[in-house]
Structure 1
Amino acid sequence: MAKEKKKAEEPTVSIDGIEYKVSDLTEEQIMFVNHVADLDRKLTSSQFNLQQLAGGKDYFMARLKESLAG
Protein backbone atom coordinates (compact mmCIF):
# COMPACT_ATOMS: atom_id res chain seq x y z
CA MET A 1 0.00 0.00 0.00
CA ALA A 2 1.52 3.29 -1.05
CA LYS A 3 1.71 6.05 1.50
CA GLU A 4 -0.01 9.26 0.60
CA LYS A 5 2.20 12.29 0.80
CA LYS A 6 0.70 15.01 2.90
CA LYS A 7 0.63 18.28 1.08
CA ALA A 8 2.16 21.09 3.04
CA GLU A 9 -0.58 23.50 3.90
CA GLU A 10 -0.20 26.83 2.24
CA PRO A 11 0.43 29.68 4.69
CA THR A 12 -2.57 31.88 5.34
CA VAL A 13 -3.41 34.95 7.37
CA SER A 14 -6.74 35.58 9.03
CA ILE A 15 -8.07 39.13 9.00
CA ASP A 16 -11.49 39.82 10.50
CA GLY A 17 -12.33 36.12 10.28
CA ILE A 18 -11.43 35.83 6.60
CA GLU A 19 -8.55 33.56 5.57
CA TYR A 20 -6.20 34.85 2.88
CA LYS A 21 -3.50 32.80 1.16
CA VAL A 22 -0.16 34.52 1.58
CA SER A 23 0.66 33.63 -2.03
CA ASP A 24 -2.35 35.71 -3.17
CA LEU A 25 -1.16 38.85 -1.38
CA THR A 26 0.82 41.63 -3.02
CA GLU A 27 4.26 42.57 -1.71
CA GLU A 28 2.71 45.65 -0.12
CA GLN A 29 0.04 43.57 1.62
CA ILE A 30 2.67 41.15 2.92
CA MET A 31 4.61 44.14 4.25
CA PHE A 32 1.47 45.35 6.05
CA VAL A 33 0.90 41.88 7.53
CA ASN A 34 4.51 41.79 8.75
CA HIS A 35 4.21 45.24 10.31
CA VAL A 36 0.97 44.29 12.09
CA ALA A 37 2.51 41.06 13.40
CA ASP A 38 5.63 42.89 14.62
CA LEU A 39 3.54 45.59 16.29
CA ASP A 40 1.45 42.90 18.03
CA ARG A 41 4.66 41.37 19.43
CA LYS A 42 5.90 44.78 20.55
CA LEU A 43 2.58 45.61 22.24
CA THR A 44 2.65 42.30 24.12
CA SER A 45 6.26 42.89 25.16
CA SER A 46 5.48 46.46 26.22
CA GLN A 47 2.55 45.29 28.36
CA PHE A 48 4.82 42.72 30.03
CA ASN A 49 7.49 45.38 30.63
CA LEU A 50 4.89 47.76 32.06
CA GLN A 51 3.81 45.10 34.56
CA GLN A 52 7.43 44.60 35.61
CA LEU A 53 8.04 48.33 35.93
CA ALA A 54 4.88 48.91 37.95
CA GLY A 55 5.73 45.98 40.23
CA GLY A 56 9.28 47.26 40.70
CA LYS A 57 8.05 50.75 41.50
CA ASP A 58 5.59 49.37 44.08
CA TYR A 59 8.35 47.29 45.66
CA PHE A 60 10.76 50.20 46.00
CA MET A 61 8.04 52.57 47.23
CA ALA A 62 7.17 50.03 49.94
CA ARG A 63 10.86 49.74 50.92
CA LEU A 64 11.12 53.55 51.03
CA LYS A 65 8.07 53.84 53.28
CA GLU A 66 9.47 51.16 55.60
CA SER A 67 12.76 53.02 55.74
CA LEU A 68 11.07 56.34 56.52
CA ALA A 69 8.89 54.76 59.22
CA GLY A 70 11.97 53.84 61.07
Structure 2
Amino acid sequence: MSADDIVDIFRRVLETDTITADSDFFELGGDSLLGTRVLSAVARRHGVELSFDDFAAAPTASALSAKIASVSR
Protein backbone atom coordinates (compact mmCIF):
# COMPACT_ATOMS: atom_id res chain seq x y z
CA MET A 1 0.00 0.00 0.00
CA SER A 2 1.51 3.29 -1.04
CA ALA A 3 1.64 6.41 1.07
CA ASP A 4 -0.69 8.04 -1.49
CA ASP A 5 -3.31 5.36 -0.79
CA ILE A 6 -3.08 6.10 2.91
CA VAL A 7 -3.23 9.86 2.31
CA ASP A 8 -6.51 9.23 0.49
CA ILE A 9 -7.82 7.28 3.49
CA PHE A 10 -6.70 10.02 5.91
CA ARG A 11 -8.41 12.66 3.74
CA ARG A 12 -11.66 10.73 3.65
CA VAL A 13 -11.68 9.94 7.39
CA LEU A 14 -10.62 13.44 8.49
CA GLU A 15 -12.72 15.15 5.80
CA THR A 16 -9.94 17.48 4.65
CA ASP A 17 -7.68 17.78 1.62
CA THR A 18 -4.79 19.42 3.47
CA ILE A 19 -2.93 16.18 4.13
CA THR A 20 0.45 15.07 2.81
CA ALA A 21 2.39 11.85 3.27
CA ASP A 22 4.19 13.43 6.24
CA SER A 23 1.13 14.84 8.01
CA ASP A 24 0.57 13.39 11.48
CA PHE A 25 -2.94 11.94 11.69
CA PHE A 26 -3.33 12.81 15.38
CA GLU A 27 -1.96 16.35 15.04
CA LEU A 28 -4.59 16.92 12.33
CA GLY A 29 -7.36 16.13 14.81
CA GLY A 30 -7.57 12.36 14.44
CA ASP A 31 -8.45 10.38 17.53
CA SER A 32 -8.64 6.71 18.45
CA LEU A 33 -12.14 6.29 17.02
CA LEU A 34 -11.15 7.79 13.67
CA GLY A 35 -7.93 5.79 13.81
CA THR A 36 -9.91 2.56 13.91
CA ARG A 37 -11.66 3.68 10.71
CA VAL A 38 -8.24 4.09 9.07
CA LEU A 39 -7.17 0.64 10.25
CA SER A 40 -10.42 -0.88 8.97
CA ALA A 41 -9.92 0.71 5.55
CA VAL A 42 -6.35 -0.61 5.40
CA ALA A 43 -7.55 -4.10 6.32
CA ARG A 44 -10.36 -4.03 3.73
CA ARG A 45 -8.18 -2.77 0.90
CA HIS A 46 -5.05 -4.77 1.54
CA GLY A 47 -5.84 -7.52 4.03
CA VAL A 48 -3.28 -6.21 6.51
CA GLU A 49 -4.42 -6.20 10.14
CA LEU A 50 -2.58 -3.63 12.26
CA SER A 51 -3.12 -2.79 15.90
CA PHE A 52 -3.89 0.68 17.16
CA ASP A 53 -0.44 0.67 18.79
CA ASP A 54 1.08 0.07 15.34
CA PHE A 55 -0.80 3.10 14.04
CA ALA A 56 0.11 5.26 17.05
CA ALA A 57 3.79 4.46 16.46
CA ALA A 58 3.49 5.29 12.74
CA PRO A 59 0.92 8.13 12.53
CA THR A 60 1.91 9.53 9.13
CA ALA A 61 0.93 8.08 5.78
CA SER A 62 4.56 7.43 4.85
CA ALA A 63 5.35 5.73 8.18
CA LEU A 64 2.16 3.66 8.09
CA SER A 65 2.91 2.60 4.51
CA ALA A 66 6.36 1.42 5.61
CA LYS A 67 4.82 -0.47 8.53
CA ILE A 68 2.35 -2.19 6.20
CA ALA A 69 5.17 -3.15 3.85
CA SER A 70 7.17 -4.62 6.73
CA VAL A 71 4.34 -6.88 7.91
CA SER A 72 3.23 -7.84 4.39
CA ARG A 73 6.46 -9.59 3.54
Q: TM-score, normalised by structure 1?
A: 0.28
Determine which structure has the larger strand proportion and give its number.
1
Question: With structure 2 as the length reference, what TM-score do the two structures score?
Answer: 0.27
Determine which structure has greater relative contact order: mean sequence separation of CA pairs < 8 Å that are 6+ residues apart, divided by chain length. Answer: 2
Pick the structure with greater CA Rg: 1
